[in-house]
């Protein structure tokens, strides 16, 4: 009943929501943030069919951004916030914040975002501008919840400048006219780096990233180094980025092949 009232209240104020399978973060079949709605009759019917559904919120429809601090790695929220601060990424806390079932935090802000999602901005931090799971959704018996009754969706503040810049989709090659190479013939490695920075759009993303990861692993660098660079390539040069799970699958496949080759 609480979830239904929350969904209807959000819809009343123009926020678009969508249903998730009970006790999960997985959308119900044929539903996603792309089908999110603020139509009260549609929302009410979801709960008539399944009263225990969880809720997803379309951020992109409301000009919202969520900074998601994950607590799965056990590094601690304070340590992660300090790491952000050390990079000059101050995090205002006078806004609406939810705690996740795993003990992480979702900081809500307003602002335009050209990128819909930046995964692993720093370890344990994702930037979300497409959708998020919201309170009072329950996962594995624990609920998302607001951490301060003083704040709600109507008190969400503007995102800090660094956060907006991180979600700006400016291509890295925007500075190409400012820097000109003179002399020296471009080497093979230079051509590969140019290829990476040029990036790839939605078509052929998996094959393109497989090629880049194969090269990274083949350089003989530490696997942790290759993986870190692969994550950055996915985040900055693939539009839209692949899911972390897909990057992991590609990376593990390449490593297995290299291991077999040399054994």
Residue the block writes with tokens 């790695």: 73
In a shared domain, residues 180 and 158: no
Query: Does 136 sit behind a cis peptide bond, omega within 30 degrees of 0 on the bond before it?
Result: yes
- What's the rounded Cα separation, in Å, for the pair 174 and 112? 20
The predicted-structure confidence for 110-124, as pLDDT tens digits, reads as follows 999 988 889 889 989
Q: pLDDT at position 7, please?
A: 97
Residue 90 has pLDDT above 80, yes or no: yes
Q: pLDDT at position 154, please?
A: 94
In a shared domain, residues 195 and 147: no
Q: pLDDT at position 182, please?
A: 56
Q: pLDDT at position 261, please?
A: 61
pTM equals: 0.66
In a shared domain, residues 6 and 121: yes
Question: Which of 145, 166, 187 is the C-terminal boundary of a domain?
Answer: 166
Angle at 235 between CA 205 and CA 59, to 5 degrees: 100
Rounded to 5 degrees, what are φ and ψ at 60?
-65, -30
Task: Output the average pLDDT for the chain.
Answer: 87
Residue 81 has pLDDT above 80, yes or no: yes
In a shared domain, residues 93 and 111: yes
In a shared domain, residues 123 and 53: yes
- Nearest CA to 89 out of 62, 117, 109 is that of 109
In a shared domain, residues 63 and 192: no
Total tally of structural domains belonging to the chain = 2
Q: pLDDT at position 181, please?
A: 56
CB 242 within 8 A of CB 206: yes
The predicted-structure confidence for 171-206, as pLDDT tens digits, reads as follows 444 444 444 555 566 677 888 888 888 888 767 889
Question: Which of 146, 166, 186 is the C-terminal boundary of a domain?
Answer: 166
Question: Which ranges of the chain does DSSP label H, i.e. alpha helix?
Answer: 2-12, 40-49, 77-86, 161-166, 188-198, 205-218, 223-237, 244-262
Residue the block writes with tokens 């230079």: 190
CB 254 within 8 A of CB 206: no
In a shared domain, residues 256 and 182: yes
- Residue 167 vs residue 236, higher pLDDT: 167
Residue the block writes with tokens 């919120």: 57
In a shared domain, residues 206 and 151: no
Question: Which of 110, 131, 166 is the C-terminal boundary of a domain?
Answer: 166
Q: pLDDT at position 75, please?
A: 64
Element (H, E) at 96: none
Strands 157-158 and 105-110, bridge-based pairing = parallel
Of the listed ranges 70-74, 100-104, 161-165, 237-241, the one predicted with least confidence = 70-74
Strands 64-69 and 125-128, bridge-based pairing = antiparallel
In a shared domain, residues 100 and 194: no
- What's the rounded Cα separation, in Å, for the pair 137 and 132? 11
How large a percentage of the chain has pLDDT more than 90? 56
- What's the rounded Cα separation, in Å, for the pair 166 and 161? 9
In a shared domain, residues 42 and 117: yes
Range of the domain at 49: 2-166
- What's the rounded Cα separation, in Å, for the pair 214 and 191? 16
Cα distances (Å, whole numbers) of residue 263 to 71, 255, 256, 257, 260:
38, 12, 11, 10, 5
Average pLDDT over residues 39-63: 95
In a shared domain, residues 124 and 45: yes
Q: pLDDT at position 5, please?
A: 96
Would you tell me how many other CB atoms lie within 10 Å of the CB of residue 214? 16
In a shared domain, residues 143 and 187: no
- What's the rounded Cα separation, in Å, for the pair 131 and 15? 12
- What's the rounded Cα separation, in Å, for the pair 173 and 78? 35
Q: pLDDT at position 172, please?
A: 42
Q: pLDDT at position 103, please?
A: 92
């Amino acid at each position: 009943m609480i979830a239904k009232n929350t969904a209807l209240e959000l819809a009343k104020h123009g926020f678009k929501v969508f249903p998730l399978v009970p006790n999960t973060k997985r959308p119900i079949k044929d539903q996603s943030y792309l089908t999110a709605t603020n139509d009260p009759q549609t929302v009410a019917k979801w709960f008539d069919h399944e009263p225990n559904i969880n809720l997803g919120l379309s951020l992109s429809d409301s000009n919202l951004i969520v900074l998601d601090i994950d607590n799965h790695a056990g590094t601690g929220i304070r340590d992660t916030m300090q790491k952000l601060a050390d990079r000059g990424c101050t995090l205002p806390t006078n806004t609406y914040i939810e705690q996740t079932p795993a003990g992480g935090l979702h900081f809500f802000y307003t602002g335009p975002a050209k990128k819909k999602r930046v995964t692993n901005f720093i370890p344990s931090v994702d930037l979300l501008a497409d959708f998020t799971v919201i309170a009072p959704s329950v996962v594995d018996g624990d609920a998302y919840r607001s951490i301060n009754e003083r704040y709600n969706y109507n008190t969400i503040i503007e995102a800090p400048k660094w956060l907006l810049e991180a979600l700006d989709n400016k291509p890295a090659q925007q500075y190409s006219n400012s820097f000109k190479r003179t002399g020296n013939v471009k080497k093979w490695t230079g051509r590969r780096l140019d290829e990476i920075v040029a990036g790839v759009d939605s078509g052929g993303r998996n094959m393109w990233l497989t090629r880049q990861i194969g090269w990274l692993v083949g350089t003989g660098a530490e696997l942790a180094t290759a993986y870190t660079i692969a994550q950055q390539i996915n985040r900055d040069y693939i539009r839209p980025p692949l899911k972390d799970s897909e990057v992991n699958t590609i990376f593990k496949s390449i490593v297995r092949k290299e291991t077999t080759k040399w054994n």
